[in-house]
Amino acid sequence: MIKILIDLADFLRSCAPLLTSLLILAVLCILLSKSIKKHATLYYLLLAIPFALVALPFIGRMFGIETAGFVRIPILGEIIRDYIHMATFGHPLLIIIMYMGAFNPKIPGVKKLLAIRKELSIISGFPVLTHSLIRVGNLPNSFKFFSGNAEYMANTKAASELGAGISSFSFILGIIMLLVFIPLWVTSFDSVRKRMDHIKWKKLQKWAYVLYATLFIHAAGIQTGGLLNPRGGHAPSPVTVEATVTENTRPNEQRENARPNEQSKQGERIKPDKNTQSVQTARPATNERMPSKGFSDIKVTAPQKGYIHIISLILIYGSYLYLRLRKTKKDAKKKAASL
Ligand code: HEM
């Protein structure tokens, strides 16, 4: 029974990582809300470690100092990768923060989350900054799509120009998101917030809606671009088998764009993810009976995962929009009634 549950959790995490992580993280945040409130600084310090381990080698490289790729360290490396890719930690965290404003604050779980909204906002900065630091390397190529389209298409041999355009646009949108995110993040810190005029602070917070809208476009655009360019137009490069196994779970456009950062620059080898091994595992060549079928035997292809991800995004952001508008209407009615 336990094996079936673990299998199911692994399967869900592999084919719907955003929804699964969102559920797990929301429950964890509710359970740990008191502890997060009480020991906020400790949480900040702990959760800033993966960011520091990415930022320090990044800064070192700018000065020509090569340091070890921390991504290879077991467990810690996985956490760093989660920070880089956003789908399993940063994105769900941003969604939780976003949803808090759409739910009735009297619901017990929501009340607990609202009590730590500031702390969660500060924590969300670490994966966002890690992600941006690594992904900034994708930008020169993305700009090239618009500034020298013919050269870009000739060099990348992307199968779909539309796909390459959507990906490039989504990557460039990342800069705008960073520009919106940083003031929101910095003003989450009490020391900054207390120095600000409350009305100004409230006005600034409205930019969070711009961030939510761009988050959806960025995430959905990158997935769509990856689906339109399933092989990115490139011949397979001589990457390690390890990296290939992991890379097969990500849209190809992303893989191509990820390579300079993840392999050439950092020299990091990506460890195979146990969720993805089933995609590559060959059947035994003997006449042995195959073991009974479980969730881990269900094959979900990379495009199918892409579609599941896009549907998850539409469901999450669509229901947020619906709930937020409903709450705004209710609040307006209450206000009108009290006048
Ligand atoms: C510096 C500019 C940025 C670039 C070039 C960029 C690029 C990327 C890429 C390549 C991905 C695909 C996932 C991966 O392999 O990492 C991605 C996903 C994502 N990025 Fe960015 N990004 C940037 C900035 C940001 C910022 C500032 C935020 C948040 C405020 C953000 C939020 C996300 C989210 C939520 C996802 C989707 C994760 C999912 O699939 O659920 N990105 N981005």
- For ligand 1, mutation pick of 15, 89, 135 (most atoms within 8 Å of CB): 135
Whether the predicted pLDDT of 195 surpasses 90: yes
Task: Give the predicted TM-score (pTM) of the model.
Answer: 0.83
49 burial via Cβ count (<10 Å: 0-12, 13-18, 19+): middle
Residue 273's pLDDT is 41
Confidence grade of residue 232 (pLDDT, cut at 50, 70, 90): low
Give the C-alpha separation, 9 to 5, whole Å: 6
Residue 217, pLDDT score:
98
CA distance 134 to 58: 8
**Mean pLDDT, residues 150-171 taken together:** 92
Residue 335 Cα to ligand 1 middle (Å): 38
Q: Residue 271 above 80 pLDDT? A: no
Residues 41, 90: Cα–Cα separation, whole Å: 19
- Residue 138 Cβ < 6 Å to ligand 1: yes
Residue-level pLDDT at 294: 72
Instruction: Give the residue, 165 or 11, on which the prediction is more confident.
Output: 165
With a 6 Å cutoff on the Cβ, whether 258 touches ligand 1 is yes
Neighbours of 209 (CB within 10 A): 13
Query: What span, in angstroms and rounded, lies between the C-alpha atoms of 327 and 333?
Result: 10
* pLDDT (tens digit per residue) in 19-30: 999 999 999 999
Is a pLDDT exceeding 90 seen at residue 333?
yes
Q: For ligand 1, say whether the CB of 222 is within 6 Å of any of its atoms.
A: yes
256 CA distance to ligand 1 centroid (A)? 15
Contact 134 CB / ligand 1 (< 6 Å): no
pLDDT reported for residue 197: 94
Spatial separation of the C-alpha atoms in residues 112 and 104, rounded to whole Å: 12
170 lines ligand 1 (CB under 6 A): no
